[in-house]
Structure 1
Amino acid sequence: MMKVYSGIDIFEKVLPKKFYGLRAGVLIHPASVNRKLVYTKDVFLKSKKIQIKAFFGPQHGIFGDTQDNMIEWEGFIDKTTGLPVYSLYGKTRKPTEQMLEGIEVFIIDLQDVGARYYTYIWTMALCMEACERKISLIVLDRVNPIGGHIVEGPVLKSEFSSFVGLYPLPIRHGMTIGEIAMYFKSRFYPEVDLTVIPLRGWRRNQWFDSTGLPWVMPSPNMPTLETATVYPGMCLLEGTILSEGRGTTRPFEIFGAPFIEPERLVRRLNDFKLKGVFFRPLYFSPTFNKFAGKLCGGAQIHVIDREKFKPFKTAIAILLAIKELYPEINLWRQPPYEYEFEKLPFDILAGSDRVRKDIEEGKSLKDMESWWNEEVQMFEQIRKQYLLYD
């Protein structure tokens, strides 16, 4: 199998000459490393082709030091270089004119995980907006760790736009961050001067563990590829009162609440006959986040065939089962959530209120999957215009 090279691995060799010597701002996070695990920050500081003027960080910061979600961080001066590090998850989520002063090219190297709610692609979108008509922008492409060949879930409706989804995308989008950047440029930021440094050696059906690339946690609660595999569905639980497993060693794979009887829930889940997944009943006590220190009943998701496993469908089956077994429980978390103060968190995660209403009405899983599959099929006609890899 061919080795896979990320954009940062081939940056020096393929950087267009028009960028040589320019002053650069660089957006990075802990997973911004090359094949040898050298931090992108250090790669650029040694580069003779560009001059680093400032660093920028998304949610969780450039070092991943904000553990939980929705924790803002403030910028600082980097001790080793004396350069400013600007926060794009604090007082502002879009680079200001002051932050961009003196910058001639803005470089983005972020590891996405293939799900629309993961905020890094929206930080990229706001950077594209800030740079449009002013500053050239380069995206160093990285693999979609859960593959670029499977798309699933509803497409975001514009009236439910938020920082977990600014523009229409299915929940599992099957695109790389470079491909998404091209989609954003074409549809929303046509005047941005965009260059994508593409991957080498990657094919759409490859999962991260077949690339030979090192896994570094792209966020504190994304410890493994297994986490990323279930995330396009199980992140929905952030919009409910249920624990999505934060505060355990298996976030998003473990879920539950104090009122849930594990064996009863798993029996109901098995009735759905979901492919590629096994539910194991368990009890757990989160160390932080929802139900910290309290005993919760629930289950762990074991993916036994990831090509057949449908994470979004699985999460909806879980919610349908819990709603049926515990009808007296109001599942829906109240705002605020990710800078949205009015709409329900679940609705902005799902991309509309239709999923929630269908669950409340007890619609069948088959009927629900039918309508979101229609949305996926329509979006695939748009998506195929921006795919860089076979």
Structure 2
Amino acid sequence: MKIFSLIILIITCLSCNGNSEQINRAVTKVKMTALEDKEELISVGANQTDVYLPLLKGKKVGVTANQTSVIFKGDNQSQIHLVDSLMLLNIDVKKVFAPEHGFRGRADAGEHIVDGVDAATGLPIVSLYGTNSKPSKENLKDIDIMIFDIQDVGVRFYTYISTLHYIMEACAELNIPVVVLDRPNPNGHYVDGPILEAELKSFVGMHPVPVVYGMTIGEYAKMINGEKWLNNEVQCDLTVVLLNGYTHDSEYALPIKPSPNLPNAVSVNLYPSLCFFEGTIVSCGRGTEMQFQVFGAPTLPNSPFDFSFTPRPNFGSKTPKYNGELCYGMDLMNEEKYNVINLDWLMAAYNSSLDKASFFNPFFSKLAGTKRLQKEIENGLSASAIKEIWQLGLDEFKERRVKYLLYK
């Protein structure tokens, strides 16, 4: 559509001069640009059916998936869910394993999800975000091979990589191969944040990696395996089906919301910075249509925090923080794309808070992966001084991850 509009604009402008040769040259150039752009389209792992279908023939297949697990058609304008595609191809899919937010991606963050049956396919669904995070032997007794296909956002406390860990671990213990269908990392262009400390390991942080780790989920799976992070240092029989046309600097706007409260590219880009507010008295916009694009609280002064919003129950947040209360804060919806974690907003909110003693809660250190960050902010360190403390760990991590990278 953009190329067509550009052609019309060129024709309109050049026609004023009556130069048909110029028009033809210009249109040809635009068409060539369109062909080049088409070649640069990123093709996700799920689209590489010729690679993974032979691995599934004659096997009883488990699929770890959610609403993002789709195969794109044409220029990514239409799609079919991976599970639907496999069943149409007579692959013997036995059950679906669902992460946080559920198989269809409708549950709130942190909402307990129970096992069930998918209404569209009749397949049993095993929840991996509820009573159990790790599939049991009983769950896997009729599975010969596991497909993992979930869109990640490249942030340590986004729990899909924790689900990946437990899938790999459970399958490794039962000698079940795992096939990861790789997808782009929309935050794959940088690495930043404190390294997780072992004593703060939890479902929102399982591995000694920074907050933003700059790897696709396929690369991350290789690192889990290679670093022997699975229980008892078991290693998984792992296959990664690669992306086509992707580099870590690729621009990639997610075509499907990865979870209910990350509605667009701005929220995905700001998520590594704003999610720290989940461990404070400040709201990051849940209960609005501006999730992870604004922040605020009733206890922040309306000067300089002159933007306001009132959270209400909505899709993805049935009981939002400060439900029905006027919050003062900042609107970040028009921020430029970040390639670092921004600490300025967190520090400004803390320094302006009328209730500093209650500003942080215990969840903050789990998100940060260290108890030091809270103390550094409370002690008045600058953002640059805090980031300098991170640097040694980041340098060591970058060096370690090199052998697991699959893309430039």
**Structure-2-length-normalised TM-score:** 0.83
Q: Which residue number corresponds to residue 384 of structure 2? A: 366
Instruction: Work out whether residues 258 and 294 of structure 1, in 8 Å CA contact, stay in contact via their aligned partners in 2.
Output: yes
In the alignment, the residues of structure 1 paired with residue 384 and residue 270 of structure 2 have an alpha-carbon distance, to the nearest angstrom, of 20
Shift of 1:310: 4.7
Residues 1:255 and 2:286 are matched in the alignment: no
In the alignment, the residues of structure 2 paired with residue 140 and residue 251 of structure 1 have an alpha-carbon distance, to the nearest angstrom, of 28
Q: Aligned partner of 1:242: which letter?
A: V
What is the 5 A alignment of 1:1-390?
1=37, 2-10=40-48, 12-15=49-52, 17-35=54-72, 36-48=78-90, 50-66=91-107, 68-134=108-174, 135-146=176-187, 148-187=188-227, 188-189=229-230, 190-209=234-253, 215-265=255-305, 281-288=306-313, 289-306=320-337, 309-310=338-339, 312=341, 314=342, 316-326=343-353, 328-334=355-361, 344-390=362-408
Change over 3 Å in CA distance of 1:236–1:39 after alignment to 2? same
Shift of 1:165: 0.7
Change over 3 Å in CA distance of 1:295–1:196 after alignment to 2? same
Instruction: Work out whether residues 88 and 123 of structure 1, in 8 Å CA contact, stay in contact via their aligned partners in 2.
Output: yes
Change over 3 Å in CA distance of 1:379–1:171 after alignment to 2? same
Q: Aligned partner of 2:140: which letter?
A: L
Instruction: Work out whether residues 144 and 207 of structure 1, in 8 Å CA contact, stay in contact via their aligned partners in 2.
Output: no
Moved more, 284-293 or 369-378: 369-378
Q: Which residue number corresponds to residue 270 of structure 1? A: none
Change over 3 Å in CA distance of 1:311–1:244 after alignment to 2? farther
Residue deviations 1:11-47, cap 9 Å, x none? Answer: x211274542111110111111122321112111122
Instruction: Work out whether residues 244 and 255 of structure 1, in 8 Å CA contact, stay in contact via their aligned partners in 2.
Output: yes
In the alignment, the residues of structure 1 paired with residue 110 and residue 396 of structure 2 have an alpha-carbon distance, to the nearest angstrom, of 32
Unmatched tracts of structure 1, length 5 or more? 266-280, 335-343
Shift of 1:323: 2.4
In the alignment, the residues of structure 1 paired with residue 120 and residue 152 of structure 2 have an alpha-carbon distance, to the nearest angstrom, of 27
In the alignment, the residues of structure 1 paired with residue 334 and residue 392 of structure 2 have an alpha-carbon distance, to the nearest angstrom, of 25
Residue deviations 1:269-322, cap 9 Å, x none? Answer: xxxxxxxxxxxx41100014110100010011145432xx3552x2x2222222
Cα RMSD for the two superposed structures: 1.7
In the alignment, the residues of structure 2 paired with residue 161 and residue 258 of structure 1 have an alpha-carbon distance, to the nearest angstrom, of 32
Shift of 1:81: 3.2
| More helix as a share of residues | 2
2:406 aligned counterpart, secondary structure: coil
Instruction: Work out whether residues 234 and 311 of structure 1, in 8 Å CA contact, stay in contact via their aligned partners in 2.
Output: no
Residue deviations 1:111-153, cap 9 Å, x none? Answer: 001111100010010111101142111100000013x231111
Q: Aligned partner of 2:41: which letter?
A: K
In the alignment, the residues of structure 2 paired with residue 18 and residue 322 of structure 1 have an alpha-carbon distance, to the nearest angstrom, of 52
**Structure-1-length-normalised TM-score:** 0.87
In the alignment, the residues of structure 2 paired with residue 304 and residue 221 of structure 1 have an alpha-carbon distance, to the nearest angstrom, of 18
Instruction: Work out whether residues 132 and 191 of structure 1, in 8 Å CA contact, stay in contact via their aligned partners in 2.
Output: yes
Change over 3 Å in CA distance of 1:216–1:352 after alignment to 2? same
Q: Which residue number corresponds to residue 271 of structure 1? A: none
Change over 3 Å in CA distance of 1:97–1:252 after alignment to 2? same
In the alignment, the residues of structure 1 paired with residue 96 and residue 189 of structure 2 have an alpha-carbon distance, to the nearest angstrom, of 33
Length, aligned pairs only: 354
Q: Which residue number corresponds to residue 274 of structure 1? A: none
In the alignment, the residues of structure 2 paired with residue 80 and residue 328 of structure 1 have an alpha-carbon distance, to the nearest angstrom, of 49
In the alignment, the residues of structure 2 paired with residue 224 and residue 18 of structure 1 have an alpha-carbon distance, to the nearest angstrom, of 34
In the alignment, the residues of structure 2 paired with residue 157 and residue 250 of structure 1 have an alpha-carbon distance, to the nearest angstrom, of 32
**Using CA pairs below 8 Å that are at least 6 residues apart, which structure has the higher relative contact order?**
1
Residue deviations 1:96-125, cap 9 Å, x none? Answer: 111111100011000001111100010010
In the alignment, the residues of structure 1 paired with residue 242 and residue 190 of structure 2 have an alpha-carbon distance, to the nearest angstrom, of 20
Unmatched tracts of structure 2, length 5 or more? 1-36, 73-77, 314-319
Tell me which structure has the larger Cα radius of gyration: 2
Q: Aligned partner of 1:6: which letter?
A: V
Q: Which residue number corresponds to residue 11 of structure 2? A: none
Change over 3 Å in CA distance of 1:69–1:333 after alignment to 2? farther
In the alignment, the residues of structure 2 paired with residue 302 and residue 228 of structure 1 have an alpha-carbon distance, to the nearest angstrom, of 11
Residue deviations 1:297-356, cap 9 Å, x none? Answer: 0011145432xx3552x2x2222222222364334454xxxxxxxxx1000100010100
Instruction: Work out whether residues 6 and 140 of structure 1, in 8 Å CA contact, stay in contact via their aligned partners in 2.
Output: yes
Change over 3 Å in CA distance of 1:299–1:18 after alignment to 2? closer
Instruction: Work out whether residues 242 and 331 of structure 1, in 8 Å CA contact, stay in contact via their aligned partners in 2.
Output: no
Report percent identity of matched pairs: 36
